[in-house]
Amino acid sequence: MSDDTKRLDPEKSFHMTPDEFRRWGHQTVDWIAGYMERVGDLPVRSQVAPGEIRARLPASPPQQGESFDVMLRDVDEHLLDGITHWQSPDFFAYFPANASGPSILGELLSAGLGVQGMLWATSPACTELETLVMDWLVEMLGLPQTFLSTSTGGGVIQDTASSAALCALIAARERTTGFLTDKRGCQQDSEGQGTLVAYTSTQAHSSIEKAVRIAGLGQQNLRLIEVDENYAMRPAALEAAIRRDRQAGRRPCFVSATIGTTSSHGLDPIGTIGEICRHLGVWLHVDAAMAGTAALCPEHRKMHDGLELADSYCFNPHKWMFTNFDCDAFWVADRGALIKALSVLPEYLRNEATESGAVLDYRDWQIPLGRRFRALKLWFVIRHYGVAGLRHHVRQHIGLARRFAGWVAQSEDFELAAPVPLNLVCFRHLGGDAFNQRLLDLLNNSGDLYLTHTKLGGLLTLRLSIGQTHTTAEHVQRAWRNIESTAKAMAKDLKPCE
Amino acid sequence: MSDDTKRLDPEKSFHMTPDEFRRWGHQTVDWIAGYMERVGDLPVRSQVAPGEIRARLPASPPQQGESFDVMLRDVDEHLLDGITHWQSPDFFAYFPANASGPSILGELLSAGLGVQGMLWATSPACTELETLVMDWLVEMLGLPQTFLSTSTGGGVIQDTASSAALCALIAARERTTGFLTDKRGCQQDSEGQGTLVAYTSTQAHSSIEKAVRIAGLGQQNLRLIEVDENYAMRPAALEAAIRRDRQAGRRPCFVSATIGTTSSHGLDPIGTIGEICRHLGVWLHVDAAMAGTAALCPEHRKMHDGLELADSYCFNPHKWMFTNFDCDAFWVADRGALIKALSVLPEYLRNEATESGAVLDYRDWQIPLGRRFRALKLWFVIRHYGVAGLRHHVRQHIGLARRFAGWVAQSEDFELAAPVPLNLVCFRHLGGDAFNQRLLDLLNNSGDLYLTHTKLGGLLTLRLSIGQTHTTAEHVQRAWRNIESTAKAMAKDLKPCE
């Protein structure tokens, strides 16, 4: 035994007592409340260089325990400079990952309870609340009735839309091969089976390609279907591609359509795509990770037309529904295929409830075995805001995006790069790629706001995504003034050189 | 627009203000502190019937928001009965998922900051603290130097050991095929490539089979290698299996060895297995999900002998290192293979830091894209306890397991079913399977403690796993008295019928 043991009192506990937890817990809550108050004043994008944060911290772990206040102080003094503030009202980058008080407290309570939800039996409330809340969301978003747990399908919380897509792909792969791939692998085409093929649009999220690679289909067997002028998948091109593959003896197994693409919020036409998939027997997954939240508002449900033809669907409450990451809501129309594809039951997990068939075991609905009690935060968010409150904020964000789009459209120096169906505005300065890149860098380096970019039609395009919890009209107006004035100053500086 | 909008004040916010957050946050912290104080008095395993919890809750979501205190009250009145108390000191089931004050507060702070760690650029501190803490753990557990981020490898936090195994398998699959499977899929053996094969022991966790199925290798291409009398993999049998497959033109690509199997804590001989893998060019993954924590204590590091021959390794701080789920610590010796296998870089994620090559982007080390700031809780735990404090508690748990094993060994009615290298005791009553099942049911139905079972040598076996944060000698003594007296009462009741 090493020296430290000899010096230790064998009865001594190093655990934080409930009283200490109260004290430091209150202090952590106060720290977060203070952070909420000041986050708008901090530079949105961290301005540190690679390695800078690590260099400030001890290279080795402490042998003896330290006090909690020292740790909180280090967060302030050392970590905060390395934080890009996703919760800043001036955060317009990527897609939002908006959080809220009730969600954060739901996460806290989940950590405090510390239960495992892998089986119904390992904590029944964890499973039953999740099933209930997922059924609530079917009602709240007007999703197909087959997605209800009381029907043939059901919902489950995944960490991300990436994992949801992978689960959907595995279920699709297995359904297509009569559940033989799980047994024999994708590699058995020497037995005369055709190569498995998947389809998505050129605008789909990178997670689809990642899933196709992970699942053993291979990147070259993912067809990237062309899009129309609004960046929506062309159904005729999809149908032609599927037919070509079938004629060549390959096995089309999976189509992933997107509602609200990452680059530009393109809306694939689900109804037409769904009919093609039904007709040709291909699994249709619909990824509405960002845009799905808009379906809280009946006036934005048109994008879901035809969703009853989909085999699976997901959207991320952790993007635009005030629920801190991670929380992806994933449904299937036929839970049997998913469960059969992902279930393995070793002796040490056998239990009476599972064998009775009367319960759902969510471990069979996901990649990992273990799972947190994530339904708590979603339940808190929905109850705190109410459906009316959630709708209100979603409408506010969409309204702000439209106002911003209006300013862009009226500007002589800028143009819109894509339609603005919801809360993402894609735009660019007319000065060309180098100008837009420089403009983006200047804005982000200022710390006043944070935008990211994409390429549309081969041109560098700025993306302004509105969905941060505390973003108001004032922040969006200030962002536009800042973008306009920075561009004007740049143009002025450039003139003498031209 | 629906009616609710018309009635709403467009400027009204439904968000929880910082002051409200302080108030409800303090109340939630107090609730958890109170839960810590009383959890030992609650029935460990929930005693509800399927559907019971859901039936108590409203079937539809509320239209208008509700007060936070109503929600907390519902947790007490409705959810708590459906909770199996993984944080009870009388929880001896499965493997522990032990939490602690500093960990819970780290999770809270992570939720409050609400940052994304998918790229270094999306929040540098999130990535750099994670890399640092993973390097700390290499030092703390005496792991191979190649696992350090400053060497060729590096560590990353995964949600679970299941996901870690899947990532390792994908990297192994790609390394074996020269990164062609990612492109062409597993299905291309028509081009003359042999079937990919993976290996693990008959005692390995079900997640290995799940990973093999997900990755497209197929269950029938996972060889379950026989074990010795201590439930450890027989290296000679592994070597023979690999050679057989190679001779048959198949491609062995992945071996998963276990340190501390789920059923019985069998310890696969890593050194011998590692030499075979090196010699035959097969990726060796080592899953020490539960047992790894014991390596905090130098006297328990023998199980890691030969780990420098492994390509990847994981253990779960969320099992036995006081860090609430999810937190799996995963290392690779060569980060290049992992990153190449899992990287996809779309335009909207391109950034200067990534292209400079000076930073790690953890999205390329995992299945999903998004990721939470999980390093915070691990940093808090290590600093709160100090290395000495963590060692102290691990030694306490192992000491308690040995005492319990001693009582079993001395008992006339019970026997040990496997060696007790660490904190898991496998034992059974001599009365046979039906007796043991009945004993298990009576104990778990009492709510006084919670044990689970497995099968060893074909016989039903009870598992007592010691690792819950607040389990002391008193709880373990009480458990043994309870088990003994329940068995005696059962034996007495049975006599007249015999």
- A229 — contact with chain B (CB < 8 Å)? no
A112 closest CB neighbour out of B35, B123, B163 = B35
Residues near A383 by beta carbon (within 8 Å), at least 6 away in sequence? A102, B61, B62, B65, B66, B70, B71
What residues of chain A lie within 8 A of the CB of B2, using their CB? 297-299, 391
Q: Which residue has the higher pLDDT, A68 or B352?
A: A68
Strand, helix or coil for residue A298: helix
Full set of structural domains in chain B with CATH: 115-373 (3.40.640.10), 388-497 (3.90.1150.10)
A interface test, pick of B128, B320, B468 with most A CB neighbours within 10 Å: B128
Q: Which amino acid is at A430?
A: L
- Which of B291, B281, B261, B265 has its CA nearest to residue B200? B261
The answer, for A433 touching chain B at a CB cutoff of 8 Å, is: no
Decide if A86 and B114 are in contact by the 8 Å CB cutoff.
yes
- Residue-wise pLDDT for A225-276, tens only, equals 999 999 999 999 999 999 999 999 999 999 999 999 999 999 999 999 999 9
Average pLDDT over residues A158-177: 97
Beta strands in B183-327 (DSSP E): 196-201, 222-225, 251-258, 283-287, 312-315
Q: Do B325 and A139 touch (CB under 8 A)?
A: no
Three-state DSSP class for residue A51: coil
Give yes or no for a contact between A108 and B111, defined as CB atoms under 8 angstroms apart: yes
Q: Is-cis flag, bond preceding A334, omega within 30?
A: no
- Parallel/antiparallel/unpaired status of strands A251-258 and A414-416: unpaired
State whether residue B471 is helix, strand or coil: coil
Q: Where are the beta strands (DSSP E) in A303-356?
A: 312-315, 328-332
Reported residue count of chain A is 498
List, in sequence order, the alpha helices (H) in A235-330: 235-247, 270-280, 317-320
Contact check, Cβ <8 Å, B28/A207: no
Contact B300, B278 (CB under 8 A): no
Q: Which of A4, A12, A14, A391 to mutate to probe the B interface, most B CBs <10 Å?
A: A14
> Which pLDDT value is given to residue B59?
96
> What residues contact residue A498 under an 8 Å CB cut-off, 6+ apart?
none
pLDDT digits (tens, 9 = 90+) for A179-198: 988 888 886 555 557 899 99
Has the ipTM of the complex gone over 0.85? yes
End-to-end CA distance of chain A: 75
**Chain A window 468-487: which residues touch B at a Cβ cutoff of 8 Å?**
469-470
Nearest CA in chain B to A80: B125
Optimal mutation site among B367, B373, B374, B433, interface A, most CBs of chain A within 10 A: B367
Tokens of residue B309, six digits: 């021959």
List the 8-27 stretch of B: residues with Cβ below 8 A of A.
8, 10, 12-22, 24-26
Alpha helices in B196-330 (DSSP H): 206-214, 235-247, 270-280, 317-320
For chain B (length 498 residues), average pLDDT per consecutive 10? 45 89 98 97 96 97 96 96 98 96 98 96 97 98 97 97 98 94 73 84 96 95 97 98 96 97 96 98 97 98 98 98 98 95 86 86 96 98 98 97 98 97 97 97 97 95 97 97 97 69
Of B104, B141, B193, B391, which to mutate for an interface test with A (greatest number of A Cβ within 10 Å)? B104
Give the tokens for residue A220.
Answer: 């070259």
Q: Which pLDDT score is estimated for A2? A: 42
- For chains A and B, what is the number of CB pairs under 8 angstroms? 590
**A-chain residues near B341 (CB < 8 A):** 213
User: Cβ distance B184 to A220 under 8 Å?
Assistant: yes
pLDDT in tens, A408-444: 999 999 999 999 999 999 999 999 999 999 999 999 9
- The Cα A186–Cα A177 span in angstroms is 9
End-to-end CA distance of chain B: 75
Distance in angstroms (rounded) separating the CA atoms of residues A252 and B341: 24
Q: Note whether B224 contacts A: Cβ–Cβ < 8 A.
A: no
**Contact status, residue B221 vs residue B186, Cβ threshold 8 Å:** no
Q: Hey, is the C-beta of A452 within 8 angstroms of any chain B C-beta?
A: yes
Residue of B nearest to A208 (CA): B344
Q: What is the pLDDT of residue A494?
A: 74
